[in-house]
Chain A
Amino acid sequence: MNLTDLLPAAPEMTLLGLICVVLLADLFVEDEKRVITFWLTIAALFITGTSLVLTAQETRTVLFDGSYVSDPLSHVLKLTAVGVVAIGFMYARDYLHQNKLFKGEYYVLGLFGLLGTMVMISANSMLTMYLGLETLSLSLFALVAFDRNSATAAESAMKFFVLGAIASGALLYGISWIYGITGSLQFHEISEAIRTNPEINAVPLWFGLAFVIVGIGFKFGAVPFHMWLPDVYQGARSPVTLYIATAPKLAALALTLRILVDGFSGLHEVWQGMIMVLAVLSLVIGNVVAIAQTNIKRMLGYSAIGHVGFILLAVFCGTGQGYAAALFYTLTYVVMAAGSFGMVILLSRQGFEAELLSDFKGLNARSPWFAFMMLFFMFGLAGVPPWVGFFAKLNVISAVLDAGFPGLAVLMVLAAVVGAFYYIRVVWLMYFESAEERAILQAKVDTRFILSLNGLAVLAIGLMPGWLLSLCMRVLG
């Protein structure tokens, strides 16, 4: 075995090495020069992204005796994850400065979470998947509790930790059943075992699979395993909420696709029903409960549950078209979620968290450009054409229709209409209500620039969705 054989895993190794560099460098940086850690982190992300691009291959490579897989799907997901984490860090800088939370550990924990996400995306065995999941979850728990002076943050971190531990337990229990029945932890061997021994396709295996799907539901935040999500979104500081709303969603998609498609495509009829229940409940409860929220972070949390319903319904189809639609939806959702929480961060300032819907009142009078950007994000999430959310929803609906489930397609359209109400309410508050306060936005030029780019991207991908869609089709083809 040559060292060059390990080249496809170079991005993870690079990132781990750079995390150690940032961790050590941060020890020697004085508090006033903490911005050095920030720029080192951004450089680390840039180098990781570059190594991802350089090592990208069109073929599927399996490494480390089947624990690691490198394929086009993993490149797309990882590159997006690196991108959104970098964007999230850029948005968070001023906020952390103003709230005296500008510490190196925030970036180190964020990078560790990204590493966990990347490990999950490239997992080819249950063991690697679980370890990646724990890496991601542990850094998220610590990030939520990051502000030690906030009681709500501690409370939501505790809730997140306990529920996350239960979810991990359920996942491990399911994995142990699957391992006992199929005799392997690797996805392609599980799939092979099911194909060669059709008699194992029976209740014990379904029992194990059900527990794995409970784990997936928890990590995605699908109803009825969504209880942690609104509380954590609200309780965490806004930059942490942004983080939780972006990279982990990509990891959850990878978790779903790797296990259900790579491992259990032979049991499609079995998991289809379970996924449908999760998806339909998420669509209905997420969108309806979001209407009643007055806190925008909580509202976006419930809206995330609704979006998870769309993603799961796309996976539910069990067709290549459906998987591509799920990938497209997740990629675009993550970009829009980053922008929306970026706006919440932008409006916050020292000692003031712009987390109520009323804080967005009359934003047009304060900053016409950023009100316009928020309009982009809200219309994107609502699915108004030509913003990108429209095409994401359209792809899922057409995939579900092609799979022969018109009833579910109607339900999705209704859910999207209900969802449009609370997104457009934000737009209405910004443009047609008078401002309660007139504080000037305090963000630096580079933050403003990236937030604007983010908003324009939501429109630009929506105007030209073809390339991303064909990329998704090619990756999952």
Chain B
Amino acid sequence: MFQAVLFYFFAAALFAAALGVILSRNPVHAALFLVLAFFQSAVLWLLAEAEFLAIVLVLVYVGAVMVLFLFVVMMLDVDVERVRGGLTRYAPFGLLVAALMVIELVQVIWFRGRTDAGLGGFQPTPDGYSNTKALGAILYTEHVYAFEIAAVILLLAMVAAITLTMRKRPGLKVQNIAEQVAVKAKDRVRIVKMETEKRQ
């Protein structure tokens, strides 16, 4: 019962966060909402005792991808006034998101500490069952084909990104090491003979 209540609470928060991503006008808010949405899904996974997936989601998406995303959003923001006010301006909103995350984590941990929670919700896993091990076993046996194709997609994304960004264009500032090494003093320094000033 309690688990079901938790589930619906987290699911509702996830839904609200997802709506926030598409409805907020401010891109920074949208990105923060996306962080919240990822976090909600991670908590749901934690509730289902899929710890590995939950932690990977937080580490990879919240920790790395979304932070990068926020950097890009803030760098692309053309409204200078807004960017300047960045830290203090978004602080209340960020704190709200962070507080919600902390509350949820506490709830989950507190709940998992209780032993008498067999009412409703996800089925408990048997003793000695390792979620991570099961995931690893299935990833490299049953889903090995899909796994390999996913790897190919990453390689392709890399090739595509380099193709689209690395090019020679006028005005591009690149370092020419050979030229730097071969440079002579007379190319860079001009010695001008001047008459010495007369002492006055």
Question: For the complex, what is the distance from the CA of A135 to the CA of B162, rounded to whole Å?
Answer: 16
- B123 in the interface, Cβ–Cβ < 8 Å? no
Assuming the A-B contacts A67-B143, A67-B146, A127-B146, are A142 and B160 also in contact, with contact meaning beta carbons closer than 8 angstroms in the complex? yes
Also in contact, A139 and B146, with CB within 8 A (given A105-B163, A109-B163, A145-B164): no
The segment from B12-20, B35-43, B147-155 found at the interface with A is B147-155
CB < 8 Å: which of B144, B145, B159 contacts A105? B159
Chain A proximity mask over B133-150: 1 for CB below 8 Å, otherwise 0: 000000001111110011
| CB–CB B149/A132 < 8 A | yes
Whether B145 and A142, one on each chain, are in contact in the complex, defined by CB atoms closer than 8 angstroms, is: no
Do A119 and B149 touch across chains, with their CB atoms under 8 A apart?
yes
A139 touches B145 (CB 8 A): no
A-B Cβ contacts below 8 A, count: 60
Bound-state CA distance A125–B145 (Å) is 11
Residues of chain A contacted by B141 (CB below 8 angstroms): 65
Which chain A residue shows the least CB distance to B161? Answer: A142
Closest residue of chain B to A139, judged by CB?
B156
Knowing A65-B141, A131-B153, say if A142 contacts B163 (CB, 8 Å): yes
Q: Which B residues touch A131, using CB under 8 A? A: 146, 149-150, 153
In the complex, what residue of chain B is closest to A128 when comparing beta carbons? Answer: B146
What is the CB-to-nearest-CB distance from A444 to chain B, in angstroms, rounded to a whole number? 26
Whether B157 sits at the interface, judged by CB under 8 Å, is yes
Determine if A112 is an interface residue (Cβ-Cβ < 8 Å): yes
Q: Are A112 and B152 in contact, CB atoms less than 8 angstroms apart?
A: yes
Q: Is B167 an interface residue (CB 8 A)?
A: yes
Nearest B residue to A157, CB-CB: B164
B143 touches A135 (CB 8 A): no
**Cα-based distance from A139 to B163 in the complex (angstroms):** 11
Give bound CA distance, A148 to B170, whole Å: 13
Bitwise, A88-117 to B at CB < 8 A (1) or not (0) is 000000000000000101001100100100
Chain B residues within an 8 Å CB radius of A435 = none
Report the interface size class on chain B: 10 to 19
A132 CA / B164 CA spacing, docked (Å): 22
Is there contact, CB below 8 Å, between B145 and A112? no
A148 x B167 contact (CB < 8 A): yes
* A134 interface contact, C-beta 8 A: yes
Chain A residues within 8 Å of B159, by CB:
23, 105, 108-109, 112, 142
Chain A residue nearest to B147 (CB atoms) is A131
Also in contact, A115 and B152, with CB within 8 A (given A65-B141, A127-B146):
yes
With the chains together, A370 CA to B166 CA distance in Å? 38
Interface size class of chain A, counting residues whose CB lies under 8 Å from the partner chain: 20 to 34
Q: With the chains together, A127 CA to B138 CA distance in Å?
A: 14
A9 to B144, CA, bound (A): 13
B150 cross-chain contacts in A, Cβ below 8 A: 131
Who on chain B is nearest to A146 by CB? B163
Partner of B164, one of A128, A135, A142: A142
Residue in B145, B153, B156 whose Cβ sees the most chain A Cβ within 10 Å = B145
* A134 partner residues in chain B, CB cutoff 8 A: 153
Set of chain A residues within 8 Å of B143, measured between Cβ atoms? 65, 67, 127
Do A141 and B160 touch (CB < 8 A)?
yes
Question: Which residues does chain B contribute within 8 Å of A16, judged by CB atoms?
Answer: 152
Interface check A64, CB cutoff 8 A: yes
Q: Contacts A64-B144, A65-B141, A65-B142 given; indicate if A128 touches B149 (C-beta within 8 A).
A: yes
A139 adjacent to B167 (CB under 8 Å): no
Known: A112-B156, A112-B159, A135-B153. A148 touches B164 (CB 8 A): yes
A413 to chain B, nearest CB (A): 42
Q: Give every chain A residue within 8 A of B153 (Cβ-Cβ).
A: 131, 134-135, 138
Nearest A residue to B142 via CB reads: A65
Scan residues 70-85 of chain B and give those whose CB is less than 8 A from a CB of chain A: none
Q: How far is the CB of B153 from chain A (nearest CB, A)?
A: 5
Please give, as numbers and ranges, the residues of chain A lying within 8 Å of B169 by CB-CB distance.
148
Chain A residue, CB-CB nearest to B148: A16
Closest to A134 in B: B153
Chain A residues near B163: list those with CB within 8 A: 103, 105, 109, 142, 146
Answer yes or no: A68 CB below 8 A from chain B CBs.
Answer: yes
In the complex, A68→B144 CA distance in Å?
A: 11
Q: Which residue of A lies closest to B150 (CB)?
A: A131
Q: Chain B residues with Cβ under 8 A from A112's Cβ? A: 152, 156, 159
Minimum-distance CB pairs A-B, first 9: A142-B160, A64-B145, A105-B163, A131-B149, A65-B142, A67-B145, A112-B156, A127-B146, A138-B156
17 A-B contacts, Cβ less than 8 Å apart? A9-B145, A63-B145, A67-B145, A67-B146, A105-B159, A105-B162, A105-B163, A108-B159, A109-B160, A112-B152, A112-B156, A127-B146, A128-B149, A131-B150, A132-B149, A142-B163, A148-B167
Known: A119-B149, A131-B146, A132-B149; 11 extra A-B contacts, CB below 8 A, are A64-B142, A64-B145, A65-B141, A65-B143, A68-B145, A109-B160, A112-B159, A135-B149, A142-B159, A146-B163, A148-B169
